[in-house]
A = this chain, B = another copy of it.
Amino acid sequence: MGLRVTEVLWQEKTPYQELAVYRTAQYGLMLVLDQAVQTTDADEFFYHEMLVHVPLVAHPDPRRVLIIGGGDGGTLREALKHPSVERVDMVEIDLRVVEAGRRFFPALSASFADPRANLLIADGIRHVAEAPPGEYDCILVDSTDPVGPAVGLFAADFYRNCHRALGEQGILTVQSESPLANRDLIREVGGRLAGIFPSSGVYLGPVPTYPTGLWSYSYGSKGADISRFDPERADRLSTRYYNAAVHTGACRLPPFLLENG
């Protein structure tokens, strides 16, 4: 499908996973964890913008944001674009991912320098379990695939702790894999979220270098569902893909997701 590695820039086994940075012919530099593409220069904006802006624009006034994972800094960069945001706690378990981001992806990791950003190298599951009730307006789970260190980030216990750590109109959004290759996982995650949050659902967006090129994001909301949002707030953001029309289009579940198989 046209992805060619031209140079291996970095490769190591961290305490949590295998980390590699490649130069590619088509997508610039690429961060890979446990053989799965996480971020490339050319298409990271699709993923980071859709993970962040849909919930943050749907929330009436997001001030305190928690990011779990997201060591490269891209999710943090997008969250900081919202003028209402006063503090973003980012809890990444693997310091080596942050260091690789700072070294190879400066356009993403520059966000760490923002005074509103608060980076913690720690276990996100434990952080949420110990957070004071109502501490956050939005929680964004920018995790790897549901194997290895990320398994617990797809569990009902974790979602329940997120619910407790969220304020009144709080929204939890999690990356939930490909709607073509992982439909069963999306339904499991959706079932768990629906059992915990009054409003929940899934939305889709393209990510060219992820398997199948189409990605899903699942959410649980203590307030309104995410299709209710202020289009002017959406369109005031400086983005490369996301806008109010994209937000509207992403929110309606395409029928193929309801099919069996």
On A, residues with C-beta under 8 Å from B are 1-3, 26, 42-43, 45, 180-181, 204, 206-209, 211-214, 239-252, 254-256, 259
Contacts and interface: CB of A to CB of B under 8 A. Distances in A.
A26 B249 contact: no
Contact of A246 (B2, B180, B214, B254): B254
Nearest to A240: B256
The complex is assembled from copies of this chain, and their number is 2
A243 B239 contact: no
Contact of A213 (B213, B246, B249, B254): B213
A252 to B, nearest CB: 4
A72 to B, nearest CB: 19
B180 A43 contact: yes
Given A239-B255, A248-B248, 16 more contacts: A1-B211, A26-B212, A42-B180, A206-B214, A213-B214, A240-B259, A241-B254, A241-B255, A242-B254, A243-B252, A243-B254, A245-B249, A245-B252, A246-B249, A247-B249, A249-B250
